[in-house]
């Protein structure tokens, strides 16, 4: 049984590696960091594959690892920037095929990190609210509340930006 789950996990990882990169890139916005996140998440998943309870849990289980790795990289980057003021500002890298609308990206950045994650998983990765609840470890109603409040705030921010642009 464990061998079958391990093989399914490998198959799932191989089939969805582009999606994983896209999620990691949406958090880190740096090519190298996103690749590191995916690699680290894959390694952790393969090392901990015995903790998977059933085949249906592979997707949410792996996304949780991927998002936690993304957040870890962001925390490390933040600590590095805070501890070393002498660092040069890194130029943004944009991956072809993974571009997002700059205005939408800026407005998403203004939201809390957990709300950003929920919106990205719901609309960019097309996951159900129940799957997002499992991935984030939040109650389903909390996910719904954060999603709808975040969308409302996003709409207000975009409308405000349009007013200032005109």
Helix (H) or strand (E) holding 147: helix 140-165
Q: What band does 109 get if pLDDT is binned at 50, 70 and 90?
A: confident
pLDDT average, residue stretch 34-63: 92
Question: Residues 81-86: what's their mean pLDDT?
Answer: 59
Res 86 pLDDT > 70? no
Highest mean pLDDT out of 67-76, 83-92, 105-114: 67-76
Q: Is CATH 1.10.1740.10 correct for 1-83?
A: yes
Give the model's pLDDT for residue 101. Answer: 54
Considering the domain 101-166 in this protein, what is its CATH number?
A: 1.10.10.10
Q: Average the pLDDT over 25-42 and give the result.
A: 94
pLDDT in tens, 50-79: 888 888 889 999 999 999 999 999 888 887
**Contact at 8 Å (CB) between 37 and 27?**
yes
**Does residue 90 carry a pLDDT above 50?**
no
The yes-or-no verdict on residue 97 having pLDDT over 60 is no
| Confidence (pLDDT) at 35 | 96
Q: Which pairs count as long-range contacts for 141-147, CB under 8 Å and 24+ apart, including other chains?
A: 143/118, 146/114, 146/115, 146/118, 147/115, 147/118, 147/119, 147/122
Inter-helix orientation angle 31-47/58-83, to 10° = 130
Comparing 35-49, 70-84, 92-106, which segment has the lowest mean pLDDT? 92-106
Indicate whether 25 pLDDT > 80: yes
Encode pLDDT of 129-151 as tens digits.
999 999 999 999 999 999 999 99
Q: What angle do CA 20, 93, 13 make, to 5 degrees?
A: 10
Alpha carbons 120 and 129: distance in angstroms, whole number: 12
pLDDT above 80 for 13:
yes
3-state secondary structure of 91: coil
HSE, side-chain direction, 13 A CA sphere, residue 49: 18
Domain ranges of the chain: 1-83, 101-166
Q: Please report the pLDDT score of residue 83 as a whole number.
A: 60
CA distances from 8 to 4, 58, 137, 139 (A): 6, 8, 23, 28
- Please state, in angstroms and rounded to a whole number, the distance separating the CA atoms of residues 50 and 54: 10
Supply the pTM of this predicted model: 0.77
């Amino acid at each position: 049984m464990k061998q079958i789950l391990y093989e399914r996990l490998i198959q799932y990882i191989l089939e969805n590696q582009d999606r994983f990169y896209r999620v990691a890139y949406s958090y880190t916005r740096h090519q190298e960091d996103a690749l590191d996140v995916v690699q680290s998440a894959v390694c952790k998943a393969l090392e901990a594959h015995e903790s998977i309870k059933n085949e249906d849990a592979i997707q949410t289980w792996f996304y949780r690892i991927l998002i936690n790795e993304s957040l870890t990289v962001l925390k490390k980057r933040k600590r590095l920037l805070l501890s070393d003021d002498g660092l040069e500002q890194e130029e943004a890298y944009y991956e072809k095929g993974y571009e997002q609308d700059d205005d939408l990206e800026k407005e998403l950045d203004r939201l809390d990190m957990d709300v950003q994650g929920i919106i990205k998983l719901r609309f960019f990765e097309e996951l159900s609210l129940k799957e997002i609840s499992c991935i984030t470890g939040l109650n389903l109603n909390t996910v719904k509340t954060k999603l709808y409040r975040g969308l409302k705030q996003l709409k207000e921010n975009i409308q405000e930006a349009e007013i200032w642009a005109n």
